[in-house]
Structure formats: C-alpha cells, structure tokens
Amino acid sequence: MKKAVSPRPKTAKKKLQHPDIREVLLTPEKIAAKVKALAAQINKDYAGKEVILVCVLKGALVFLADFMRQLTIPCVVDFVDWSSYGASTSSSGVFRILRDLEESVESRHVLIVEDIIDTGLTTHYLIKHLSGRNPASVKVVAIFDKPSRRKIEAKADYCGYEVPDEFVVGYGLDYDQKYRNLPFLGVLKPEIYAGRDTPPDKP
Ligand code: PRP
C-alpha cells in the first residue's frame, strides 16, 4: 500500500529573503498587524468624521494601500510629491512641489500618510504647508519612524514601528527606486551602495 503523503502544513512560511538584504527587520505579518492596529485606532478617533488621506509619494503608497482598506470611516485619497532642493538646503526646509493636492483641504480632517519619518523635514514642512490651507485638523500616520535621525521637530500622531538607524528598504522604501516591492522591511547590504561618492542619506 502506498504511504499517504502528508500535505505541507498550512502554517509553513515562505522564507523571507533577498540576495541584497542583510537582515529582515519586520516581517509582512508584523507589519500587517500594526497596520490593522493603527487603522482600528483611527476608526475610533475619527468616528463620524470624514478624512482626507494625503499620501506622500512614492514611498507611502504601499502602506496607504493596506491601511486604507482597514478604514471603516469615510475617506478620500489624494497625493503629494515633494522634493528637497538638495542636501545643503534641505535643512532649511526648501522643497519643490512636484505634485500638489487636487482636493481642497479647507475645513476637512487631513491625515498625512507616511512610510517613514527620518530627519522629520518632509513631515514638518508638509504639516506647515497644509495647515496654511485652513483644514479642520492635520494629523500624521507613519508606519515607520527613525527618531534617532531627527533634524527638526516632527512626530507621527499614529506611529507604527520605530526602526534603528540602518539603511532600510522594502514595504515602499527604496534604494535608487528599487526594493519598494519587498513585502518586508529589511536592511540593505552595505556593498550594494558601496562605491558611491557620498554615503546615502536616505531612510
Ligand atoms: C522618504 C519618505 C518620506 C521622507 C522622510 O521619501 O517616503 O517621505 O523620505 O524623510 P525625512 O523625514 O528626512 O524628510 P523620499 O524623499 O526618499 O522619496 P520617495 O518616497 O519617493 O522614496
């Protein structure tokens, strides 16, 4: 009689790896659990209100896609894309708006959706910029935070995971526009960005 082959256990996990990744910091499961918890808190805090989700391109789009599907409150989505004028001027908060909002934020509850807060410059100046347009409120939700790198005051009202000062990629975060599609947050191997004139100063 043929011996029955036992099926692969349903819990068997696909090994998380990529040749350019030194270490996986946060698995897709851990990220998903935090996204769910953040959305649950926001559903509670904004009950009876409509929010406008302002996604900061491009890194935040993966988080936005997961996060907004956990929201039960009414929401609309819009996008901004900012670029700093360069390392020397970015500390003074000089940004070029590559794409501005299509929606008006006047008298509306704005929730800025970020993948990561690093130096804090983007968040700080985006809050300032949007606050000048007379919204009902402006708050920030960020799935990752690197508080050790702050150059200016910036805080997520809803914060996912604090991450160490490592070159992290995945779940929307890139190096040279790559790795955004990795389903986990991982640390890039230093040899991938070695040989550049200056070390990368990116999240
Ligand atoms: C990243 C990230 C945040 C910003 C945070 O965007 O998505 O928007 O940097 O950094 P900060 O706190 O130092 O301002 P990036 O400019 O790399 O563009 P991207 O999202 O298109 O990758």
| Ligand 1 atom index nearest CA of 59 | 20
Gap from CA of 59 to ligand 1 centroid (Å): 7
The pLDDT, as a whole number, for residue 82 is 86
First vs last Cα of the chain: how many Å apart? 59
Q: Please tell me the pTM assigned to this model.
A: 0.89
Gap from CA of 50 to ligand 1 centroid (Å): 26
State the Cα torsion 116-121-122-128 to the nearest 10°. 130
The pLDDT, as a whole number, for residue 14 is 63
Is 118 part of the annotated catalytic residue set?
Answer: yes
The pLDDT, as a whole number, for residue 89 is 40
The pLDDT, as a whole number, for residue 13 is 54
The pLDDT, as a whole number, for residue 131 is 97
The pLDDT, as a whole number, for residue 83 is 77
Of 56, 173, 175, which is best to mutate to test ligand 1, by the most ligand atoms within 8 angstroms of its C-beta? 56
Residues of the chain predicted below pLDDT 70: 1-14, 85-93, 195-203
The pLDDT, as a whole number, for residue 194 is 87
* φ/ψ bin of 164: left (φ > 0), alpha (ψ from -120 to 50), beta (otherwise): beta
3-state DSSP assignment of residue 100: coil
The pLDDT, as a whole number, for residue 6 is 57
